[in-house]
Structure 1
């Protein structure tokens, strides 16, 4: 894992990095069995909910069967930052679902709720303070995350197309960070969650692409 840490901050103009994000970052997941044991097909494999990933619908059970491992301080910080990023994605998509009559936002927002629960399970397992605890929708502990949310919300409020573009930006950024985070991660439970979240984030991006092309 790279020693330099970072947190991704997305603005209307693009993506910059500030602060201290520990490189362990997760987003979307699709499967009712995504947190089960074992690699590859079987109990630990991703399974698509009814209707498939076309509209971004994802359901997940936050139970994590894999054993815990060892996290560096950077990875512990990144897990806490990840919780805020999961909440950011959820709160954005939920707000866009209220504004626009397109089911993709409702479905992905629902999946983000399950993803945040999974990350919170990891936070509890590793004794890490949850920065999203008791935070109202649209409110964040970290100023950089709050600023990112405010910018993206304003960008997506311009139009439905702009909101879909925000979704694509969020998912593209998440995919990049997840790939980087998985490079040196050794804790089996965190590996399982992050790996499946990476796959699901790719599904979400594909869904946003389909809606943007309509």
Structure 2
């Protein structure tokens, strides 16, 4: 199954299997270790957006400073797909922030902006067409991603609790996709960004869980 189509399939499936995904990955509330290379470029301090993990903030994604490597065609496709997934998360959370008075959506949407910028930097570095370029909020180049966005937006528009559930679905899906994308990856710069995004998604998932239990 193509990566972009799989994103939509996993996300749609996640609507009814969030608990199963969360159990599979057994996410802890403490900060997990970074992925990527050991000491070297890119290992400097990262910043914490206002609010911190408890209120939806996460570890910032530093600039892409690690050396580039080689990507297979499958890995190039996955990088473009991850850009669309980051935009999907950003656009959904922005919509929910406008509908509900929960700071978690506003803060995580801001984080997703940084995440998408990091992925776009990699797309430029590797000469990969950015599928999110010139796409208005809520609009996507890939039909399957568009359908997933529309479905999740409708679900989250039903109530505040439903929107928080969508947030957990999106972050659980991101974790699954990033783990898969890291499999067999050797390019240091992409490893670093994916590792940071994985850590961020774990923080986001924990934050949505905390807000759901209030």
Q: TM-score, normalised by structure 1?
A: 0.82
Name the structure where strand makes up a greater proportion of residues.
1
Aligned partners of 2:46 and 2:59 also within 8 Å: no
Aligned equivalents of 1:58, 1:106: Cα separation in 2: 13
Residue 81 of structure 2 aligns with which residue? 81
Rate the CA distance shift 1:39–1:200 in 2: closer, same or farther, 3 A: farther
Give the TM-score of the pair, scaled to structure 2.
0.82
Q: How does 1:1-214 map to 2 (within 5 A)?
A: 5-6=2-3, 7-9=6-8, 10-11=11-12, 13-14=15-16, 39=39, 43-44=43-44, 46-58=46-58, 60=60, 63-214=63-214
SS at match of 1:8: helix
**d(CA) in 2 for partners of 1:50, 1:156:** 25
Q: In 2, Cα distance between the equivalents of 1:39 and 1:155?
A: 43
- Whose helix proportion is higher, 1 or 2? 2
Instruction: Provide the secondary structure at the position in 2 that maps to 1:115.
Output: helix
SS at match of 1:153: helix
State the 1:151 CA deviation.
0.1
Alignment match, 2:27: none
Q: Give the secondary structure class of the aligned counterpart of 1:54.
A: helix
Which 5+ residue runs of structure 2 have no aligned equivalent? 18-33
- Write the distance in 2 (CA, Å) between the matches of 1:74 and 1:45: 31
Matches of 1:56 and 1:39 in 2, distance apart?
Answer: 28
1:142 Cα deviation after fit: 0.2
Q: Shift of residue 43 of structure 1?
A: 3.4
Distance 1:152 1:180 in 2: 22
Which structure has the higher relative contact order (CA within 8 Å, separation 6+)?
Answer: 2
- CA-CA distance at 1:179 after TM superposition: 1.4
Counterpart CA distance in 2 for 1:163 and 1:11 is 14
Total equivalences in the alignment: 192
Deviation at 1:5, TM superposition (A): 4.3
Supply the distance in 2 between the matched residues of 1:118 and 1:197 (Cα, whole angstroms): 9
